Amino acid sequence: MLQSFKFGLYNFITSNSVGVILRKPKFQVLVSVNLTIMGSKKRPFSTSSATGKSNEQVSVAAEKGVSKENGGKSGEVLVEDMETVEKMTVPQLRVKLRSLGIPSRGTKQELVASLKTFLDSKLDDAGNGSVAQEDKVSSEESLEVAANPSKKKSRKVPSKNRNQSNVTSKVPTTRQTKKRVTKGQTEDTSFDIIVKETEITQEMSIESNDIKGKKNVRAKRKVSSATASAHIGVSEAADLSVNQDEPWTIFAHKKPKDGWIVYNPKTMRPPPLSKDTKHVKLLSWNVNGLRALLKLKNLCIQQLADREDFDVICLQETKLQEKDVEAIKESLHDYKNSFWTCSVSKLGYSGTAIISRIKPVSIKYGLGIPDHDTEGRLVTVEFDNFYLLCGYVPNSGDGLRRLTYRITEWDPSLGSYMKELEKSKPVVLTGDLNCAHEEIDIYNPTGNKRSAGFTEEERRSFETNFLNKGFVDTFRKQHPGVVGYTYWGYRHGGRKTNKGWRLDYFLVSECISEKVHDSYILPDVDGSDHSPIGLVLKL
């Protein structure tokens, strides 16, 4: 009697031992099934893992074999299946046909006809007294295959007549490949991932007779699964808990290229300049609401100043109103020079500021273009040696509703403004520029091609209006193959897994790019969805 499995797994209804791939989330299991027709003896039903389960688990699976007696008339079973065929949905029919190695394209009527033809042929075979022969693989060999998937085995069932079904199964073949995922994440730590790929090839040849004559069907199925294990080489000086305490040292990127490494400020920053070397230290930070940030007891602008000893800090997205500014100015003890601009078109929105202990030569707010200057997005201060611009570039927004404004009006206006200033002094632009320029600057480049901040239009505009006009991305120049992010969304907890974007920059005129001693990120400073960035510039 021909036995068949329920839908929900790929199966082969044959008279031989066959391979079945169970559909399970995150892994696949190779099942060895022995079936017979026409009142044969009980046969074991055993399972073995194709993805590297332990020998103990495989043994338990083998001990729990299920025996099933074949009984009843094969005609009754086939007739019952014939009636069921008409009720099957198209997806069910396609799954069934694929499992039998029969082409599964066409209308429902064509699929039903194909399945009925196959069942008719099996009924004819059973009526003629053809008995399928078993694949003689011992339980010991099955366990050996599960424990040593690298051993390649191929068995064919000898046929007795031209109407008998033939099945050829290839046992999983394991390939091991090594991929260097990160190199030099820290001075003495490297990570290798050993990927084990298991390929299961099943070849089925079915020969059957129907009313129209001989019909041959061949099908091949290849299933691959992969398991990965991380090999970590750590010297005695390395901190094994580095990824837990310092999540920014996790290499996180969906399309990494050879040679890319993760940014670690502890190991990648140059030694500080001596006191004899004249220089200025600049910081920039999108605070995402300054009032909320100042309420944090363990972090405020003054405490950050005590730690970093910066000369100037530029803030974006302060979300302040004019009435809030004076109270904040009073809390800045060592920084008497502060210059604020707030949004007047939408209160509590946008806003930028420059806070400095160096007195500037001049101050300017906005671009000087009324259409661009109502949201408090730009402050310019002039020092003796350069202009410093603190900018907060408009986000293209949900549905990219401001994309056109951004790339056709704002970016060109800002780029032209910078070039005009550059005629008298070098220019430094810093802030949240709302663009991840290259794929290295974003964790998931493929999934964000139409996301604000990574569209092709914004990236091209960034190049056209800033880089191609002679302004240098200082971080990328200093770290050409380093994955370092400055923004992590709150929604998905990006900081914990280091799945972020690099949106914050220091761009400088090319004529002073060689004077940049350090361009860096402070990923350990929280309180905002952005981290501060810094620039040390020799004067």
Q: How far apart are CA 498 and CA 490, in angstroms?
A: 12
What token pair was written down for 269?
Answer: 């920053």
- What is the strand order of the sheet 45-49 is part of? 18-24, 27-33, 45-49
Whether 487 is a known active-site residue: answer: no
Catalytic residue among 335, 392, 505, 520: 392
Whether 490 is a known active-site residue: answer: no
Q: How far apart are CA 180 and CA 404, in angstroms?
A: 41
Q: How far apart are CA 454 and CA 24, in angstroms?
A: 36
Q: How far apart are CA 489 and CA 451, in angstroms?
A: 13
Whether the Cβ atoms of residue 393 and residue 410 lie closer than 8 Å to each other: yes
Rounded (5°) CA angle 405-411-417: 130
Whether the Cβ atoms of residue 27 and residue 225 lie closer than 8 Å to each other: yes
Could you tell me which residues come within 8 angstroms of residue 146 by beta carbon, excluding any fewer than 6 positions away? 30, 48, 49, 50, 53, 55, 58
Q: What is the CA radius of gyration of the chain?
A: 34
Rounded (5°) CA angle 311-312-315: 155
Catalytic residue among 253, 372, 437, 530: 530
Query: How do 312-316 and 279-286 pair as beta strands?
Result: parallel
Q: How far apart are CA 362 and CA 318, in angstroms?
A: 22
Whether the Cβ atoms of residue 440 and residue 475 lie closer than 8 Å to each other: no
Whether the Cβ atoms of residue 527 and residue 296 lie closer than 8 Å to each other: yes
Mapping DSSP onto H, E and C, the string for 374-417 reads CCCCEEEEECCCCEEEEEECCCCCHHHCCHHHHHHHHHHHHHHH
At residue 124, φ and ψ (nearest 5 deg) are -65, -45
Give, to the nearest 10 degrees, the angle between helix 139-147 and helix 55-63: 150
Write down how long the chain is: 539
Q: How far apart are CA 378 and CA 488, in angstroms?
A: 23
Amino acid identity, residue 413? S
Q: How far apart are CA 61 and CA 37, in angstroms?
A: 25
| Positions marked active-site | 392, 530
